């Protein structure tokens, strides 16, 4: 597993790239910028990428983090890839439901289920 920076670890599997977010809180603009600068190059350099973002460590995030997910989704669409989210804390998942982003993103309870869906 490659450690891109303290906030994110990248693991390349047979048919997917898994980005494990190590931070418990994604609240500050700096946190979002670090995540964006770590993930966007992965997408830009990998046509057809299957990216799984694992949120198992994340307990809090802001609406700006949701905006980042939308930008990531758009970029993945442009390179004909797939974005899957997994292991989202139930309290955070409620935000996805309220904003109806659970209808926009493919969200799985576990990383294994996300990988199996590819």
Residue 29 has pLDDT above 60, yes or no: yes
Query: H/E element holding 10?
Result: strand 8-12
> CA 104, 71, 6: angle at the middle one, nearest 5?
110
Q: What are phi and psi of 77, to 5 degrees?
A: -60, -40
68-78 average pLDDT score: 96
Percentage of the chain exceeding pLDDT 90: 78
Please tell me the predicted confidence (pLDDT) of residue 69: 96
Residue 20 has pLDDT above 80, yes or no: yes
**Is 6 or 52 the better-scoring residue by pLDDT?**
52
Please tell me the predicted confidence (pLDDT) of residue 109: 97
- The confidence band for 40, taking pLDDT boundaries of 50, 70 and 90, is very high
Please tell me the predicted confidence (pLDDT) of residue 7: 79
DSSP state of 112: H
Cα–Cα nearest to 91, from 61, 53, 52 = 61
pLDDT tens digits for range 79-97:
999 999 999 999 999 999 9
Query: In whole angstroms, how far apart are CA 92 and each of 1, 63, 101?
Result: 26, 11, 11
CATH superfamily membership of 2-117: STAS domain (3.30.750.24)
Residue 78 has pLDDT above 70, yes or no: yes
Residue 115 has pLDDT above 70, yes or no: yes
Please tell me the predicted confidence (pLDDT) of residue 5: 55
Q: How many residues does the chain have?
A: 118
């Amino acid at each position: 597993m490659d450690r891109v920076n303290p906030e994110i670890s990248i693991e390349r599997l047979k048919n997917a790239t898994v980005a494990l977010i190590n931070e418990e809180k994604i609240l500050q603009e700096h946190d979002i910028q670090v995540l964006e600068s770590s993930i966007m190059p992965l997408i830009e350099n990998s046509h057809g990428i299957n990216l799984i973002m694992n949120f198992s460590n994340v307990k809090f995030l802001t609406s700006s983090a949701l905006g980042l997910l939308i930008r990531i989704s758009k970029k993945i669409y442009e390179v004909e890839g797939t974005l899957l989210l997994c292991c989202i804390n139930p309290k955070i998942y409620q935000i996805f439901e309220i904003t109806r982003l659970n209808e926009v993103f493919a969200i799985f309870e576990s990383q294994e289920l996300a990988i199996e869906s590819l």
